[in-house]
Amino acid sequence: MRTKISNLLMLFFLVFTLAGCGGGSNSTSSEIIDGEQNSDTAEPMESENESVSNVEEEQRTLRISIGVNDKHPEYEGAMKFKELVESKTDDFNIEVYHSGQIADDRSAIEMLQFGTLEITIPSTSPLVNFVREYGVFDLPFTISSGEVADKVLDGPFGDKMLELVESQNLVGLAWWENGFRNLTNSVRPVEKVEDLKGLKIRTMENEIHLDAWRELGANPTPMAFTELFAAMQQGTVDGQENPYPTIELSNFYEVQDYLSGTGHVYTPFIFLFSKSVWDELTPEQQTIISDAAVEAGEFNRIRNREAAEESLEALKGFMTFSEISPEEHKRFQEKILPVIEKHKSNIGEDIVEEFLTELEKYQ
């Protein structure tokens, strides 16, 4: 049995040895030693911290605001953008704020105009309140597929539309995808136009959407996305319309029973940058950011289309799904023709003509 004396001797021996190796508390210092830094080379540590803090000091934080949550393909795209930019330069620290933490779409656009927020990626529909030509994307039943959307948005028409936002102190950098919108509600299955009668439907803050649902017999109300779930939960509205990924990944099936495959309009997301912040960046920095916005946009579109299929299958398990027949789709289209005619002049006859001509090339 080891005696106290021997223990004491042992203890004394141990302390002495450790001290000999350059200080007990430096147990981590073993790392320092292992690492390139040991006590007599403390300098690098300090300068390393200095260099790290210098980088952080010089780094500019770019905040991205989106309305959907961190399960959505738009959030995945935003994280891809962060990864791409931060892999190419130390100049920026990208922070992603989902679920409207900073602001809803419309307020976020206004913050970009004042330079109090750097980036937002909203649906194009709220942007119509700032650039009326964007109403072309709200004309129902125009774009027939994601592939056609790509051709139109990645072509000269898409470039022209991106340039148009500069008049509003915004920089349009890329097209991402929200997708084809479908109706949900908590009152009854909707399989034909007449089933819409009197349904209180939430729409985005957009006159064309309001007029279209009114023309179809529903009772639409405009509302920010951030208020939508609570409004459905409290019965303030009976229903809403969004792409399948948003419906599933925002858990709308918890407060909605019926899903109809209306596919009534394709909504792009637009990657917007604050012009006042943009003008402070170097051309090299601008190139890194715009290239990353385009590349992350391509990633987002692919992910969004995969998610649209996965989400529809999942939603069929939670909700009563109604397919809309081609004949009924035709009736929907005919019913809202007056709305398209009415808004052609608001949007601008020329740009509407250009858009429809561009579509005809591909569908």
Task: Give the span between the Cα atoms of 227 and 220, in whole angstroms.
Answer: 15
Give 127 or 288: the residue with its C-beta nearer to ligand KDG.
127
Question: In this structure, which amino acid lies at residue 107?
Answer: S
Q: Can residue 178 be called a binding residue for ligand KDG (CB under 6 A)?
A: yes
Nearest to ligand KDG of 273, 288 (CB atom): 273
- In order of 121, 206, 239, 268, 270, the CA distances from 178 in angstroms are 10, 16, 19, 5, 9
Unique residue bearing structure tokens 């750097």: 118
CA distance 265 to 328: 15
The answer to whether 182 contacts ligand KDG (rule: CB under 6 A) is no
Choose, by CB under 6 A, the member of 64, 66, 190, 232 that binds ligand KDG.
66
In angstroms, the CA 339 to CA 216 distance is 10
Give min distance, CB of 206 to ligand KDG, in A.
9
Does residue 74 belong to the site contacting ligand KDG (CB under 6 A)?
yes
Single out the residue of 78, 76, 77, 134 nearest to residue 106, CA to CA: 134
Q: How far is the CB of 205 from ligand KDG (least distance, A)?
A: 8
Window of 45-53, 64-72, 312-320, 347-355 that interacts with ligand KDG by CB under 6 A: 64-72
Task: Determine, following the binding rule CB under 6 A, whether residue 242 of this chain makes contact with ligand KDG.
Answer: yes
Shortest reach from residue 67's CB to ligand KDG, in Å: 2
Assign 213 to helix, strand or coil: helix
CA distances from 97 to 60, 75, 83, 262 (A): 16, 9, 15, 31
Question: Which of residues 112 and 288 has its CB atom nearest to ligand KDG in the complex?
Answer: 112
77 binds ligand KDG (CB under 6 A): no
Contact 92, 147 (CB under 8 A): no
The only residue of 204, 293, 324, 336 in contact with ligand KDG, by rule CB under 6 A: 204
For the CB of residue 237, give the shortest distance to ligand KDG in the complex, in Å. Answer: 12
With contact defined as beta carbons under 8 Å apart, do 109 and 166 qualify?
no
Size of the site for ligand KDG (CB under 6 A): 12
Q: Is 274 in the site for ligand KDG (CB under 6 A)?
A: no
Binding to ligand KDG, residues 88-147 (CB under 6 A): 105, 122-123
Helical segments of the chain, H only: 4-20, 29-34, 42-58, 73-88, 105-114, 124-127, 146-153, 156-164, 207-215, 228-233, 244-249, 275-278, 283-318, 326-335, 337-347, 349-362
Q: Establish if 211 lies at the interface with ligand KDG (CB under 6 A).
A: no
Our CB check for ligand KDG shows the closer of 66 and 292 to be 66
How far apart CA 166 and CA 41 sit, in angstroms, is: 53
> What is the closest distance, in whole angstroms, from the C-beta atom of residue 196 to ligand KDG in the complex?
18
Q: Which of 29, 63, 67, 297 binds ligand KDG (CB under 6 A)?
A: 67
Residues of this chain that bind ligand KDG (CB under 6 A): 66-68, 74, 105, 122-123, 178, 204, 225, 242, 267
